[in-house]
Chains A and B, each alone.
Chain A
Amino acid sequence: MTEILRVENLTTRLSARDGSAAAVDGVSFSVHAGRTLGLVGESGSGKSLTCLSILRLLPPSLSQAGGSVWFKGENLFDKSPRAMTAIRGGQIGMILQDPMTSINPLFTIGNQVGEVFRHHRGVSGRRNLWAKAVETLRRVHIPAAEERVGSYPHQFSGGMRQRIAIGMNVGCEPDLLIADEPTTALDVTIRLQILSLLREIQTARAMAMILVTHDLHLVSRFCDEVAVMYGGRIVERGPVARIFQNPAHPYTKGLIGAVPKIARHAERLAVIPGQPPLAGEHGAGCRFAPRCAKAQPRCFAQYPDDRRFEDDRRAVACWDPEGLPS
Chain B
Amino acid sequence: MTAASNAFIEISGLTKTYQVRPRFFARSRPLAAVAGVSFTVEEGGTFGLVGESGSGKSTIAKMLMGAELQSGGDIRIADRRFGSRLSAADDAWRRRALQPVLQDPTSALNPRLRVASIVAEPMRVQRSQPDDAAYERRVIELLEKVGLTASHARRRPSELSGGQRQRVAIARALALEPRVLVLDEPVSALDVSIQAQVLNLLKDLQAELKLTYLLISHDLAVVAYMSSRIGVLYLGQFMEIGDKADVIARPAHPYTQALIAASEPEHAASLDRVMGEIPSPLAPPPGCPFHPRCQQAVARCRVDKPLLRPIGPNHQVACHLAG
Contacts and interface: CB of A to CB of B under 8 A. Distances in A.
Interface of A: 42-43, 157, 159-160, 187-193, 195-196, 214, 216-218, 220-222, 254-255, 258-263, 265-266, 268-273, 275-276
Given A189-B259, A262-B221, A269 B200 contact: yes
B220 interface: yes
B164 interface: yes
B193 to A, nearest CB: 4
Contact of A272 (B196, B261, B265, B271): B196
B200 A271 contact: yes
Contacts of B264: 217, 261-263
A160 B277 CA distance: 9
Contacts of B162: 43
A262 B271 contact: no
Nearest to A275: B161
Contact of A262 (B193, B200, B248, B274): B248
27 contacts: A42-B192, A42-B193, A42-B194, A43-B162, A43-B191, A160-B277, A187-B218, A188-B262, A188-B263, A189-B52, A189-B274, A192-B261, A192-B273, A217-B264, A217-B265, A220-B266, A258-B192, A260-B195, A260-B224, A261-B221, A262-B248, A263-B264, A265-B248, A266-B225, A269-B225, A270-B196, A276-B191
Contact of B265 (A157, A160, A192, A273): A192
Given A42-B194, A262-B220, A262-B263, 14 more contacts: A43-B162, A160-B277, A187-B278, A188-B218, A188-B220, A192-B273, A196-B271, A220-B266, A254-B193, A269-B196, A272-B193, A275-B161, A275-B164, A276-B191
Contacts of B163: 275
Contacts of A191: 262
B225 A260 contact: yes
Given A43-B191, A196-B272, A258 B196 contact: yes
Contacts of A218: 265
Nearest to B162: A43
B124 interface: no
B9 interface: no
A271 B196 CA distance: 6
Nearest to A251: B193
Interface of B: 52-53, 161-164, 191-197, 199-200, 203, 218-222, 224-225, 244, 248-249, 258-268, 271-274, 277-278, 293
Nearest to B293: A189
Contacts of A266: 225
Contacts of A189: 52, 258-259, 262, 273-274, 293
A255 B195 CA distance: 11
A272 B203 CA distance: 17
B85 to A, nearest CB: 37
Nearest to B224: A262
A98 to B, nearest CB: 14
Nearest to B52: A187
B13 to A, nearest CB: 27
Q: Which of A216, A217, A222 has the most CB of B within 10 A?
A: A217
A254 B224 CA distance: 20
> 8 nearest interchain CB pairs?
A258-B196, A42-B191, A187-B52, A221-B265, A260-B225, A269-B196, A188-B262, A272-B193
A218 B266 CA distance: 7
Contacts of B224: 260, 262, 265
A255 B193 contact: yes
B277 A159 contact: yes
A38 to B, nearest CB: 12
B210 to A, nearest CB: 18
A268 B225 CA distance: 8
A265 B228 CA distance: 12
Contacts of B265: 192, 195, 217-218, 221-222
